[in-house]
Amino acid sequence: MHLCFATQNRHKLQEIQALLPAGVSLVTPAELGCMEELPETQHTLEGNSAQKADYLFENYNIDCFADDTGLEIEALHGAPGVFSAMYAGKEKNAEANMRLVLENLHNCKNRKARFRTVITLILNGRKEVFEGILEGEILGKPKGSHGFGYDPIFIPKGFTQTLAEMTMQEKNQISHRSLAFKQLREFLAPIVS
Ligand code: IMP
């Protein structure tokens, strides 16, 4: 089965390919001739992942899926959420994003936060949605040098290290993204076997 994954990032595609059942072969939008940026103008993770998948299905008539991830902080009413990549500006600078989160949480006792990944799959014209959540807390200052994005200021519930102090393998065992893609894999497995 060919499935288009709504990413232009080859590295990400290979990573996800390795997680999916052997009968699933991923293609990029570029391989379908889609060179334009996929639209992502909605105000929720669900909306954005659906918008990207809808765009591929409507314009290229192919089975496909798209994902969207955000950091949701309770005391900030769910921000940065869908705006996680550009929280501090269009430059998508991870350091600036973390600084802004820490500033906005200054003197705030409630540090509860979660990462949430939403995947929208369109298969034979039918839509399925999968979600992965990693609960945790925002630290007072960054710690660790692995990972990306907000990893240095996020400690998963039940752990003492930030995501940036964990190895990639350790993070992958618990991450929001892994949980969401595990559900996608489990959904696809009986269909392609
Ligand atoms: P995307 O939807 O996977 O592109 O994620 C959007 C933004 O959320 C990223 O640019 C990061 O700022 C943040 N983010 C997503 N996943 C993670 C993660 O695993 N660790 C830290 N930050 C993340």
Does the active-site annotation cover 63? no
Ligand 1 contact via 68 beta carbon (within 6 Å): yes
Nearest CA to ligand 1 atom 1: 69
pLDDT tens string 91-123: 999 999 999 999 999 999 999 999 999 999 999
Nearest CA to ligand 1 atom 3: 69
User: Residue 161 C-alpha to ligand 1 middle, in angstroms?
Assistant: 18
Residue 58's domain comprises: 2-192
Left (φ > 0), alpha (ψ -120 to 50) or beta: where does 19 sit? alpha
Nearest CA to ligand 1 atom 11: 149
Two tokens at 73?
């902080």
Ligand 1 contact via 32 beta carbon (within 6 Å): no
Ligand 1 contact via 72 beta carbon (within 6 Å): no
Q: What is the pLDDT of residue 53?
A: 98
Number of domains in the chain: 1
d(CA 145, CA 162): 10
Name the residue with tokens 């192919």. 62
Given the residues 63, 67, 68, 151, the one annotated as active site = 68
Residues 6+ apart with CB under 8 A from 49: 66, 67, 68, 118, 119, 120, 129
Q: Answer whether residue 193 shows pLDDT above 90.
A: no
Atom of ligand 1 at shortest range from CA of 70: 8
pTM: 0.96
pLDDT tens string 126-157: 999 999 999 999 999 999 999 999 999 999 99
Ligand 1 contact via 87 beta carbon (within 6 Å): no
CATH number at residue 16: 3.90.950.10
